[in-house]
Amino acid sequence: MNSISSFEELTAHLKNINIRRRMAVANAVDSHTIEAVLQAVEMGIIEAYMIGDVAAIESPELFSHNPSPFIHIIDIPEVHEATIEAVRMVKSGEADILMKGLVNTDVLLRAILDKEKGILPPGNVLTYNAAMEIPGYHKLLFFSDPVVIPSPNLYQRTAMIKYAIQTAYKFGISKPKIALIHATEVANPKIHYMQDYLDIMQMWRNGEFGDVIMDGPLDIFLALDKERGSIKKVQTPVLGDTDIVIFPNFECANTFYKGLALFAGAQMGGLLQGTTNPVVLTSRSESIYSKFCSIAIACVLT
């Protein structure tokens, strides 16, 4: 398998393997979610269980205009109950993927984290892993974590990196290049997160992350641009060719992504990871395309 270096290639790959994943969508009543799901159904990659308050559906004509045997509408008017039912379907094996519709993230997380009925195995770290397509960058950029863990500790960060590596493998990247990002490449342990980065580099040298290339701390220029990075005269094996950027904290990942979404036309697809099955979780302000890309990533990870 060639590596997948854009969302278009991802879509082509999924069409090619031609498998429908079953997805349970919690309260799929907003039109962005519905349109993204319909696109995935039409493309032949999803069979959708739309669980929620049918009376609250924003654009019911979307369903009547797009009838499909692969869309199942399950009327559960109470959002909390609809969410629990979606999680139950995933846990029982009736669905492969969980997707958040118009549900507060808190409500979804509570259902996922529930010790009996949830889908997070004990000891697993719940985090958010995303892929960004940036016009001007030559491949997809995986990054973590813009949403879930504000200030990762060493244990959480290790898990974040391992999830990102697993994701990169599923995209056919045989030896992912990982950059531990900070403001500077000068490792001063007095600065937040730098000691964790030094520890992680040591773990990498010890083989803990497998067959990957890792370096850090590095700044964005070194990680993502050969020309600007070279001016610094710092040697790094990931120079301008990074697959995975690990950010020090969620504010850093979040502002980086949002700046590029606004001013560089970047598109993101992202998932919760750590759960037994992929969880598509995008905010209401994300575009239909971004939600669609998130579903496509979930399919490749299933």
Residues lying near its own copies in the complex (CB under 8 A): 134-137, 146-147, 150-151, 181-184, 191-193, 219-221, 224-225, 228, 231-232, 247-256, 258-264, 266, 284-285
> Minimum distance from CB of 184 to its own copies (Å)?
8
Residue closer to its own copies, measured from CB, 10 or 252: 252
- Given strand 177-181, what is the order of strands in its sheet? 71-75, 46-52, 21-26, 97-100, 279-280, 267-273, 127-133, 141-144, 244-246, 177-181, 213-218
SS3 294: helix
> Minimum distance from CB of 290 to its own copies (Å)?
11
Helix H or strand E encompassing 246: strand 244-246
Residue with tokens 């379907």: 89
Residue closer to its own copies, measured from CB, 118 or 216: 216
Residue closer to its own copies, measured from CB, 81 or 225: 225
> Minimum distance from CB of 33 to its own copies (Å)?
13
Terminal Cα distance for the chain, rounded: 17
Residue closer to its own copies, measured from CB, 248 or 278: 248
What distance in Å separates the CA atoms of residue 193 and residue 213, rounded to the nearest whole number? 20
> Minimum distance from CB of 207 to its own copies (Å)?
28
Residue with tokens 């060639």: 2
> Minimum distance from CB of 283 to its own copies (Å)?
8
Beta strands in 76-170 (DSSP E): 97-100, 127-133, 141-144
Residue closer to its own copies, measured from CB, 202 or 230: 230
